[in-house]
Structures are given as C-alpha cells and as structure tokens.
Chains A and B, each alone.
Chain A
Amino acid sequence: MRNTTRRDFLKISGAGAGSLLLAGPAIKAFSQIAGDDTIHPGEKLHRTPTYCEVCFWKCAGWVYTDKKGRIKKIIGNKDDPHCNGRLCPRGTGGVGMYYDNDRLQTPLIREGKPGNQYFRQASWEEALDLVAKNLDKVRREHGPECVALFSHGTGGKIISHLLKAFGSPNIAAPSFAQCRGPREVAFTATFGEDVMSPERTDIRDTRCLVLIGSHIGENMHNGQIQEMSEAIDKGATIITVDPRYSTAASHSKYWLPIKPATDLALLLAWMHVIINEELYDKKYVEKYTYGFRELKDHVKDKTPEWAYAITTIKPDIIRKTAREMAHAAPAVIVHPGRHVTWYGDDTQRSRAIAILNALLGSWGRRGGFYVPEKAHLPKFPGPAYPKPKRSWKDAFPGKYKLVNEVLSTGICDATIPNPEMGCNLKAWIVYGTNLMASLPDQEKTLKAIDNLEFLAVIDTMPMDIVSYADVVLPECTYLERYDVIRTSPHREPYIALRMPASEPLYDSKPNWWMAKELAKRLGLEAYFPWNNIEELLDWQLKHVGSSLDEMKHLGVKKLKREYDDLYFLNGEDYEFNTNTGKIELYSTELANEGFDPMPDYTPHPEPPPGYYRLNYGRAPMHTFSRTTNNPNLWELKKENNVWVNPKVARIWGLENGQYVWLKNQDGVVSSFPIKVRITERIRWDSVYMVHGFGHKERQLSRSYGRGASDSELITRIAEDPIMGGTGMRGNFVTFLTEKPGKEVAS
C-alpha cells in the first residue's frame, strides 16, 4: 500500500497507540460469552424488533436476549415479506457483529506529523468538536458544497439529512456507480421507472426466470432466493447465463456457459428470434411501446448464428431458450441483476434486458415485474434545505446529464484539483462503507484522500478506510440502536422498526445521536427539532396510523396500497414516464444525448496470453468486505480462493489448495496470497474469486491478510459514458507461485 503524503495509513493499535483499545469499558471476548454453558437451549428469551443491516435487503426480525440481557439469536419476522420469517446466514449471524471484539470502541483522533502519525483515543465531546470545527472551516473558506458524504445503509439517511442541512448536494453511495446504476438508468430510459430495491421481480409467480451473470443463491438477496426456490417447486424454467457454473446454474434447466463479455450479443440474438418468429406480445408491444419498427430493423441481422460466433452459445440453444421465454410470457423475468458495472457498456446491456422484457410483455404483469408501493412517512417539521450553488458535476462539464444520483468515483475526481472546477472538494465524511474495497482504482481514491483537508469516518469496525481518517467516530451496531423506519417498496407497502436490543457496547453511539450533536455544533439545530429519535419515530408512525408502542410489538406492519393494481389491467391505457409516454424500445432520451438509441454489441478487450479475466462475486455468508471479520461468519468462510479450470492449472502446474499471488495487467500484485481451487465450474479463460477479502487493516484480527482483494487488482476501469459507472470486469490476472519481492504488505 502506497502511503499518502499527508496521511499515514494508521494501524489502529499500531505504534504510539499500543494500549489504546484496552482502555474501553467492559471488553468481553466473544468466546467468553458464546461458550457460556450456563445458557441452555430452550431458556425463556425476551425479544425486540429489528430489521437486519447486514445487507441492503433489510429483513425484519426479532432479536432474542436472555435474562442477563445478552443477545442470543436473531430470527426472521414471519410477517415481513422481505424474509418471511427466515433470515439469511448473514442475518442469522448478525449477532457476530455485536460480539466482534475488534469493534471500534472509542472516538479516535489522528495526531502527529506525516511520517510519524498515530491515533489517540478521544472523548466524544472532543471528537465531535473537531469534526464540526473542520466542517465549519471548509464551509467558511470554500462553501458547504466542498464537503462530501459517502454513505451506505440505513444509518446514512440521517447523516445525509445533516449534510443537506449543511448545504451540500455531494452525497454518494457506491451502490450507484459501482453497482446497480446502469440498470436504473436503462430501465428508467425504457419504462420511465427503475427497478428499485428490493427488486420488483415477481419471481414467486414466474414461469421462466432468466439470470444473466446474476448468481442468486450466492448472493443471498433473501426474498429473491426464497421466491426462486418456490418457483422451482412450481416447475418454473430457470435459464442461467454465466461463464461460471454458479449455484444458480446448477439449479437451472438451461445453463448457457457464455464467453465472458459477450452477453449483449446473446440478448440481441434473443430479440431477433422473438421478433422474427413473431413470439413477442403483439398487443402489449403495439399498445405500450415506441420504436418497434426501428428495433426490428436493428436486430434484423443479429441472428443466433451471428451470436454463436461471438458468445460460443449454439444457435439451437439460443432459439430454444428464446422460445421457452416466449412460451412462459408474460410470466417471464429477464432479471435486471444488481451488480451490473462490468464492461462500460452496461447501461446498453441493461437496456437490452429491459427491451427483451418489454417484447415479452412482462413489465407490469404477474410473474414478470409487479408495480411496487412504498410507505410514505411525513418529514418532521423543520426548515427547508439551503440551495447548493455548486455540485460535483461541475467537475464534468456537459457530462452525466442522465445521472440522477451522485457518482462516488465522481466525488473522487471532484476532490482532485481540476481546472474545470472552481474549487475541489475539501472534506469527506465516510459512513459505513469501506471505500478501499467498494471503489475500484485504489490509486485514484488515495490521490483524492491525499487532497483532502479533512476526513471523518463513521463505522462500527476498523475497516481499511478508517486508517486514513483524521477523526474516527465509532458507531454502535444495528442491534444496539434505533434507526429510521424501513419503508422499502414491495407488493404492499410495509413499515418496519429497528430498536436497540442492548445498550451500546464500549463507547459507541448511534448515527442519529452523532448527527444531532454535530448539527448543534454547526448551528443547524433547527433541522433536528426532536429531542431523541423515539420522538421522531413516534410522530412519523402516528401519521400513518401506528405508533412506536405498536411497532415495538409488531416489528413490521402492512399498510394499505394507495393504488389498487399490483399488475397492469388488461387493455387499460398507461402513460409511462418517458418522452413519448410509451415504453421506449427506441430511446429518445439516449438519442437526444447523443448515445445509441438501441443497444449494440461491441467487443471488449480479451486477456493477453498467460492472463485470465478476473471475475468476482459473492459468497452467501458474506456481505462484501463488511462481514469477513464477523466471528460467526468468518467461521463459515475464512478466506476466498481463486477458481482455476483444471486445464489452466495443468499449464501452470498448480495444485489444489496451493497459495499463489495474483498479478494484474498493470503489474499490480495482490498484497496477500490466495488459495487455488481447481474446479470444472469455471471456464479456462477466466478465474473467479469472492469479493471482500484480503483486508490490510491488522486490527481486523480474523480477516487481516486472509485471501486476496479483488478491488486491489481492479485498476483498469471501463467507464460507462451514459452514467459514469465503473466497468470492472476488464481486468486480467496471472499467477505468481513465488512470494513476490516487493509491494507485499507483511
């Protein structure tokens, strides 16, 4: 790891701070608690409601505590459609987040001159004062817009509220430009609405589910995996397109082992078959869509034979699968996926998926995509946000017109001084996201950090990003705090409550308290007129016919749909939120901005000889890099391994279980070695690893140095010109069997 010039990468318990963390109150080692055999199964336990924060699915559940108030287990809430009473392994293992003895325990402040810096333990008073002082300084000298927030998860909402009150529009989440952004922009361009989270896919009632690189089952998006299982029971056809024999592929009727980076050719060929064989939903297409003739012409020569040469998928399989989809239509879902920033033409690939769904008439139909609704809670009375004078977009004149969220990589660019921008961003608050793992191109992230005057990090764990902070604010876990009410969209609008099952351990605090305290110091009290969050929640809940007391007993509550229809009504007219009011097969919006109005296949770079495409994905028991140190989940998967086809292993003389270092096309070598897994489940032109491992922060005592970090090896980014997404699947790696001499953190 390259050190930045202003900020040393600090080891939280490193030199100068050796005994710091031992000073926290009542540190209990996990084993002492979990191994306590005075607790017997079947003991009467007390329960409090929560919704899970181990991933974005936010399943509602009950936290069970024993007589002594110790958290014992977390069980799904039966009334919640996100989980139907069953949490996923991460949610079940959420207890480990609470008991993790590596947790951040007290506020920390960076001290010393560059080259000789260390963290000093601080009081909340002192740490918050310092954060406020620095934010205020930026506000006075450069304007409030020069502060940016990176946020992830529920707690980010109140911190975002603080930042908006402060006057900055620069609030980014890596979930857009590094993840689902392309699909949201593509679906909005097509249907006038995005896919939302949880996805509005009606998997429960589908008769055909098409997964394109989406590995449901390895990503445990709880409701989806449950519904997929139900669909399998009901005899639905699953078609999985993946160069890797994923778990989903193994449960599918058809597995299409596609050559990586060629999905768009397959999608075009499917359209060709569906149009040419007149399998599309004629009534639907005629009534609701715009640009069918142009599309028909566009895919005229995109025959399965044409696609075969590109994708290596046989023409008869392309035809057969297209017919299966059409046969099931409209109860068919060509799944939009979630992490879709792959090759830089991702919005166009997502457009192709959207168009295919439109041809099959599945949008707004049972077994396709339902019309979701979410609960709307009123805003607590308070002043309006000030109007920002500048934004991160000023760093990119004329670009990103179709982008309606903030690009986290754009924030990095806008932090590095740039002639287009009057003033670069000067301070960041990073809430609950480990930028070292969630952003590609670490060198750029570090360069941006190097240009910051101030960096505050709020987290529960000493993630890698914490080491670059000037001030660290330790948050308590979701099991120890209230948060805003969950209002995610679903088939019916639901609300869910999270409340503390235990007092915060150590000297950690909830996000809402930090935001309110900072507001006080920044003269923004008026934006936080409630005394505590219970008052805010109760007020909001009473406006939708519930109350805090009621929610403490229910955990989740179903509200009434505002509109009756979960699906389009037969023959009804609908106006879509696009320029033409129709579902745009031909996108007028993209055309206006000078982009291809209909998706086209373009070849992407291929691995040079001796190199293999680096594909990455998820393991069901981990959420990105956030859970790899969780004691319960670490037990299930302690390190990632690199999947290698046996043919490739033979060439390199690799053995199963051997450790290798990976080197990418730019000469970047993984900081830590990774175990080889030789398996027939992967193509010979690519390797695969689970994302989120290879932590460099030693304070993560379990996950430090375990496995390799894919993020570190993703140095080549294919930017999506439409929405600024960072395509990350164009990186290639080779094997080093000997420990490389340099660049290895040890």
Chain B
Amino acid sequence: MRYAMAVDTKKCVGCSDCVVACQTENNVPLGYARDWITETVAGTYPNVEIEIRSERCNHCENAPCVRCCPTGASHIVEGGIVLVDHDKCIGCGACIEACPYDARYPHPDGYVDKCTFCIHRVEKGEDPACVAVCPTHCLHFGDLDDPNSDVSKAIADRKWKVLAPEAGTKPQIYYLI
C-alpha cells in the first residue's frame, strides 16, 4: 500500500478551502497551517501563465525528517504516511530544518506538527479533509498500488511533476500539469 495525492494545477483556483478545512478538522491553531497555496506567474502581459498549487507534506518515501529525528517521534506508518508522535516529540526542530518543502511547523504546545493525510479519516475509508472539501475536485487521494484508486487514475492519463525531485526525497504528492 502506498498512499499518495495528486493535485490538478489546471483546476485549482487557489481558494484555500483545503487550508481552512484542514484547520477545522485537525485543530490547527490559527497562525499555522499544514497545507498552503502557492502561485507562480510566468511571461509578460498578455502572454502570461500561472500555476496554482495546493501544497502539503509530500509523505516522502525517503524522508530526511524521519532520518534526522533524534527521538524517533517522526516515523512512517503503513501506506507510507509520515507522522509525528506528539508525546515523543521534544520540539527540537531538526526535522523542520531537514524538510526541503517547509512542510512542518512548531506547534505552540511544544511539538512539531504537519499533514497526516488525515489518517484518522483515511482509516475509516474517508478522504482527507482537504480532498473532501475542494470545490473544484482538483485533489485526488488514494493507494498507488491500487490501479483503480482516484490518485492512480488521476496520474495515469495526465502529465505530472513532483516538487524538488533533485532533493532525492521521493515525494508522493503529484502535480498534474
């Protein structure tokens, strides 16, 4: 089993619904976020292009945040989801430094937090909160080992890219372009 997400940049409108839904689902304190939006603009008027992306932890297969964690709080569970055990975490921030995607934040309660792929929902067979709320249906989630999952189907017939492949982290968020 290999959980992954695909983000359709041709449909995302950058509305940030995924960000708010994550905050209310996961009690992310105001001022912090587990997911966020980026926009890049290229070209000159009127030959302009923009790419809007909803970003979050890439649940890297080769995760530097896990490797560098001194307490073992950062770990990988079944399906490749990278998690932080809040009780074990001492908030040293090594993982924040190690993550090439800036996906982690220091929770005011003293531990480091980040996207969990909403594992508490996924265990019940639901989509992560961001995927479930997105009004443009541009987020696709599922098991890459299952060719019929939403995410497998989404990346099967579209061009895609991952962010910073050169970092060698084998990220599992696919951006449809």
Contact = CB atoms under 8 A, between A and B. Distances in A.
Contact of A35 (B21, B43, B108, B136): B108
Contact of B48 (A222, A233, A621, A681): A681
Contact of A245 (B14, B50, B52, B133): B50
A343 B1 CA distance: 58
B24 to A, nearest CB: 4
Nearest to B120: A42
A621 B16 contact: yes
Contacts, number: 137
A92 B137 contact: no
B10 A232 contact: yes
Interface in B123-163: 132-138
Interface in B19-38: 19-21, 23-27, 29-31, 33
B20 A89 contact: yes
Contact of B30 (A34, A37, A39): A34
Contacts of B20: 89, 92-93, 621, 632-633, 636
A634 to B, nearest CB: 9
Contact of B15 (A35, A88, A232, A635): A88
B77 interface: no
B13 A41 contact: no
A222 B13 CA distance: 12
A251 B121 CA distance: 31
**Residue picked from A74, A86, A257, most chain B C-beta under 10 Å:** A86
Contacts of B16: 89, 620-621, 636
A86 B132 contact: yes
B135 A680 contact: no
A233 B13 CA distance: 14
A30 B48 contact: no
A479 B14 CA distance: 26
A645 interface: yes
A87 B17 contact: yes
Chain B, interface residues (CB within 8 Å), range: 35 or more
A679 interface: yes
A85 B46 CA distance: 37
A89 B17 contact: yes
Nearest to B21: A92
A521 interface: no
A238 to B, nearest CB: 11
A251 B13 contact: yes
B75 interface: no
Nearest to B116: A41
B11 interface: yes
Contacts of B108: 35
Interface string B80-104: 0000000000000000000000000
Contacts of A86: 17, 132-135
Given A34-B27, A73-B25, A225 B46 contact: no
A680 B46 CA distance: 8
Contacts of B14: 217, 247, 620
A220 interface: yes
B15 A220 contact: yes
B68 interface: no
Given A37-B109, A247-B13, A679 B41 contact: yes
A92 B133 contact: yes
Most buried by B among A35, A225, A683: A35
B11 A681 contact: no
B13 A217 contact: yes
B10 A251 contact: yes
Contact of B19 (A89, A645, A646): A89
A506 to B, nearest CB: 20
Interface in B112-126: 118, 120-121
Interface string A69-95: 000111110000000011111001101
Given A247-B52, A632-B30, A682 B133 contact: no
Contacts of B29: 31, 34-35
Contacts of B132: 75, 85-86
A308 B81 CA distance: 55
A75 B134 CA distance: 11
Interface in A222-264: 222, 225-226, 229-230, 232-233, 245, 247, 250-251, 255, 257
A251 B11 contact: yes
Interface in A626-650: 631-633, 635-636, 645-646
Count chain A CB atoms within 10 A of each CB in B21, B24, B136 and give the residue with the most: B24
Contacts of A222: 135
A745 B48 CA distance: 38
Nearest to A95: B24
B120 A621 contact: no
A134 B137 CA distance: 52
By CB atoms of chain A within 10 A, which of B15, B19, B49, B135 has the most?
Answer: B135
B136 A229 contact: yes
A636 B133 contact: no
A50 to B, nearest CB: 14
Interface in A121-136: none
Contacts of B49: 250
Contacts of B118: 41
Contacts of A89: 15-17, 19-20
A248 to B, nearest CB: 8
Given A41-B26, A632-B24, A635-B33, 17 more contacts: A35-B27, A35-B29, A37-B27, A39-B27, A75-B132, A86-B17, A86-B133, A86-B134, A87-B17, A87-B135, A88-B135, A226-B137, A233-B137, A245-B46, A636-B16, A636-B19, A645-B45
12 contacts: A34-B30, A41-B120, A41-B121, A73-B25, A75-B132, A75-B133, A86-B135, A93-B24, A226-B137, A233-B137, A632-B20, A681-B50
Interface of B: 10-11, 13-17, 19-21, 23-27, 29-31, 33, 41, 43-46, 48-50, 52, 108-109, 118, 120-121, 132-138
Cβ-closest 5 pairs across A and B? A217-B13, A620-B15, A42-B120, A73-B24, A229-B136
